[in-house]
Amino acid sequence: MLKVKDLVVNYGAIQAVKKVSFDVEQGEIVTLIGANGAGKSTLLHAISGLMRSTSGSITYLDHPIQKTAAPKIVRAGISQVPEGRHIFPGLSVQENLQMGAFLRRDRAQLAQTYQTVYNYFPILKKRRHQDAATLSGGEQQMLAMGRALMAHPKLMLLDEPSMGLAPIFINEIFDIIQAINQAGTTVLLIEQNAKQALKIADRGYVLASGQVKLSGTGAELLANPDVQKAYLGG
Amino acid sequence: MQTFGQQLINGLSLGSIYALLALGYTMVYGIIKLINFAHGDIYMLGAFWGYYSINYFHFNFILALLSAMLVCAVIGVVIEYFAYRPLRHSARITALITAIGVSFLLENGMSYLVGANARSFPQAIQVVTYHWLGLRISNVQILILGTACLLMVLLEVIIKKTKMGKAMRAVSVDPEAAQLVGINLNHTISFTFALGSAMAGAAGVLIGLYYNSIDPLMGMTPGIKAFVAAVIGGIGSVPGASVGGFIIGILETAVQAVGLSAYKDAVVYFVLIVILLVLPAGIFGKNVKEKV
Ligand SMILES: Nc1ncnc2c1ncn2[C@@H]1O[C@H](COP(=O)(O)OP(=O)(O)OP(=O)(O)O)[C@@H](O)[C@H]1O
Ligand SMILES: [Mg+2]
């Protein structure tokens, strides 16, 4: 479904992503793990069209998208839940969700999508008229995920959804990621919480200093001694 | 008491025009963090459009107002497209200086095209003055105040209720996240310039009716005062711009009423300084530290 090949992304003179290749098949949960500064977010920004790559290619459903503008990427079915949530303060919870559906024209099915989102995250329904800025960190993460779901994506990119959350919220978030996947959405999950990410992932890639160092199924990587030492605290 | 009421009426009429202008400053600043120094000149163009459309096309007031709004909206969008968009990723000071350049271009361009002299604005409406409780209030004043308030309410509805209005707010708080939900930044910014410039165009026609006299440099001082109004209200805040506009209008007429006409502009800046000392972010501003 998504094929990234030899991708290079720079910030001026700084090379953040150095010839990265990986792919995501339809229906999978694929995780990219790596330490701070490994280039994970940069990679997602390139896929979402917020940053231009210097070389290499990104292919989505057999179309090259490395030069496609962000709104068209969303329209094509790729939604990102950015690192740090980036909900819209000053807009209510419901308005944030409405913005998630900005490009949708199928009004009839929209009500259905709100329903789905509120089913995943009942707290959002309860808080729908509240300013999104007043939500707790965990609730904001839910809102950011709900907002991405509103576009009805085929592929969802999640950038460290568990960052800064209490363990109880983390478990809930991971459960919902699995539920979203089971409902038919392909997931590319970026995490520093490597253990939980690898547990739910079909496959994973380990990224370090802008390069893919290892790859394998979730179980393989969990069992890999190098991975255990570097990312699983053991 | 009577003079107080009279000055309040005059101040509100003038203030509503500053408020309309201040809205454009604040919306554009909110979305691209640019102080659009050419905004006062859009108001001048609106006044000139009103002048020509009434004199030569025999438009009535409503038609002159609406067409001025439309024409100015288009001009605003064109200016953004050619002058500011190419500088979107440059240092802010570059865009700021460009805005000053656009302002000079419009002022001198109009002086060249139509002449620098002042001309009298056609009276599209027969002035009738009503006397009530010893106060004098003209139908033009009522019209200005009414139109301005109607436009402000309309703008508030657009910003608060419509999808484009919400997209505007989303882009002003977080342009990256806005793109991630599929909002097109360029369209949203154009939309913002269109709205702000339409308000300026309306203000230009209204001021023509009020003061009867227009010239190519008429946008300079009101432009600066409306900018001050936007800052006093809290730059980026829409209700703040309206309130700031009324404050400046009332202040200016009050200063004139007590016989200090010569100092009316100085007082405006004095109040600006005082308010910024007490409330650095303006009356409605959020107190956020800004990286410049
Ligand atoms: N705006 C920027 N300008 C310059 N360099 C940047 C910028 N953003 C990121 N970088 C650099 O690019 C590299 C990769 O950053 P990136 O944000 O992609 O890492 P990450 O893997 O997402 O890290 P984290 O886990 O901390 O989110 C880092 O070395 C970082 O310093
Ligand atoms: Mg990151």
Task: Give residue B128 CA to ligand 1 midpoint distance, Å.
Answer: 67
- Mean pLDDT for the stretch of residues B79-92: 94
Question: Which of A26-40, B53-67, B254-268 shows the lowest mean pLDDT across its residues?
Answer: B254-268
Q: CA angle A215-A220-A181, nearest 5°?
A: 80
Band (pLDDT 50/70/90 cuts) for residue B102 is very high
CA gap A5, B11 in Å, rounded:
66
- Percentage of chain B lying above the pLDDT 90 cut: 74
Q: Which residues pair with B130 in a beta bridge?
A: B137
Query: What would the 3-class secondary structure string for A130-198 be?
Result: CEHHHCCHHHHHHHHHHHHHCCCCCEEEEECCCCCCCHHHHHHHHHHHHHHHHCCCEEEEEECCHHHHH
Residue owning the nearest CA to atom 28 of ligand 1? A37
Task: Give residue B207 CA to ligand 2 midpoint distance, Å.
Answer: 53
A contact set with B (CB within 8 A): 48-50, 69-71, 74-75, 79-80, 82, 86-91, 95, 98-100, 102-103, 147-148, 150-151
Write down the mean pLDDT value for chain B. Answer: 92
B169, B177, B184 member nearest A71 (Cβ): B184
Cβ atoms within 10 A of the Cβ of A223, count?
12
Å between A5 CA and nearest CA of chain B: 22
Instruction: Report pTM.
Output: 0.92
Domain count, chain A: 1
What are the pocket residues of ligand 1 if the criterion is a CB atom closer than 6 Å to any ligand atom?
A 11, 14, 16, 34, 36-42, 83, 192
CA gap A57, A63 in Å, rounded:
10
DSSP code, position A92: B
Q: Give the number of A-B residue pairs with CB atoms closer than 8 Å.
A: 65
Q: Please check whether residue A73 lies inside any domain of the structure.
A: yes
Q: What is the predicted pLDDT for the residue at B292?
A: 35
Query: What would the 3-class secondary structure string for chain B be?
Result: CHHHHHHHHHHHHHHHHHHHHHHHHHHHHHHHCCCCCCHHHHHHHHHHHHHHHHHHCCCCHHHHHHHHHHHHHHHHHHHHHHHHHHHCCCCHHHHHHHHHHHHHHHHHHHHHHHCCCCEECCCCCCCCEEEECCEEEEHHHHHHHHHHHHHHHHHHHHHHHCHHHHHHHHHHHCHHHHHHCCCCHHHHHHHHHHHHHHHHHHHHHHHHHHHCEECCCCCHHHHHHHHHHHHHHCCCCHHHHHHHHHHHHHHHHHHHHCCCHHHHHHHHHHHHHHHHHHCCCCCCCCCCCCCC
Mutate to test the interface with A, among B166, B181, B185, B288 (most CBs of A within 10 A): B181
Q: What is the predicted pLDDT for the residue at A108?
A: 86
Domain that residue A192 falls in: 2-83+152-231
- With beta carbons less than 8 A apart as the criterion, state whether B58 and B285 touch: no
Interchain pair B180, A88: CB under 8 A: no
CA gap B196, B19 in Å, rounded:
11
Å between A199 CA and nearest CA of chain B: 28
Q: Please check whether residue A216 lies inside any domain of the structure.
A: yes
Band (pLDDT 50/70/90 cuts) for residue B76 is very high
Q: Which residue ranges make up each domain of chain B?
A: 2-219
A70, A95, A98 member nearest B180 (Cβ): A70
Q: Please check whether residue A106 lies inside any domain of the structure.
A: no
Q: What is the predicted pLDDT for the residue at A234?
A: 55
- Mean pLDDT for the stretch of residues A9-20: 94
Which CATH number fits the domain that encloses residue A6? 3.40.50.300
Q: Measured between alpha carbons, how far is residue B144 from residues A185, B157, B238 in Å?
A: 55, 20, 19
